[in-house]
Structure 1
Amino acid sequence: MELNELPGSELILPGLEDLYQGRNNTIGSLLISIASIRLTAAGLDIPQISLVSEPELALYNYLQIDRDDAYSYYNALLNSLNSFCAAIELKSKYQTCIY
């Protein structure tokens, strides 16, 4: 199973690319910042220098700008993030190398 097959990868993988490009204010990069410890422990290489402090607040504020349903969308994004984290943790448990 490849990383792009994991649930939530459509948000996380572009966010990872954003971080490598120095963009830390996108939905995906903020989600990665929220779960950076879990993702790093599971073997994902995350550029730490680009992470936002208080990413939960930054994400919610970002969503409030354009969405009337910011709270429900925020929760849906966190659920997707949790699904990705759980899947990559399981994947790393049964494989020694993710890539």
Structure 2
Amino acid sequence: MNLNELPGAEIILPGLSDLQNGESNTIGALLIAIASTRLTEAGLDIPKDHLSPEPELTLYANLQDQRDDAYVYYNALLNQLNSFCNSLELNYKY
């Protein structure tokens, strides 16, 4: 399975790389932390020692510092994360 073809991969896969490099506060790394259990159950190897303890709050706070429309962008990111997880789970299942 090519993970690059899954919806949301452009945000999630760099986050996986960030976590492997010890960076836990990037958007992608925080999204992975939010869904780490779900992603692990679908077959991804997530480095758990670098996960943020409160990824939802950290992500939202980071977005508020960067954007005026933090709420809208936060929800869009969660939708992309959900799409990635759904696709990964379907591919893992079959």
Whether TM exceeds 0.5 here: the answer is yes
How far apart, in 1, do the equivalents of 2:19 and 2:48 lie? Answer: 9
Structure 2 counterpart of 1:53: 53
Q: For residue 16 of structure 2, what is the aligned residue in structure 1?
A: 16
> What is the percent sequence identity of the aligned residues?
69
Letter in 2 for 1:13: L
CA distance, structure 2, for counterparts of residue 19 and residue 82 of structure 1: 19
Q: Count residues with an aligned counterpart.
A: 94
Structure 1 runs of 4+ with >3 Å offset: none
Distance 2:89 2:40 in 1: 10
Measured in 1, the distance between the counterparts of 2:11 and 2:32 equals: 9
Q: Does 2:37 correspond to 1:26?
A: no
1:65 deviates by 0.3
- Aligned equivalent of 1:83: 83
Q: Which residue of 2 aligns with 1:71?
A: 71
TM-score normalised by length of structure 2: 0.99
* Structure 1 residues not aligned, in runs of 5+: 95-99
Structure 2 unmatched runs, 5+:
none
Distance in 2, matches of 1:30 and 1:66, equals 15
- What RMSD, in angstroms, separates the aligned Cα atoms of the two structures? 0.5
Task: Provide the rounded CA distance (Å) in 2 between the counterparts of 1:30 and 1:24.
Answer: 7
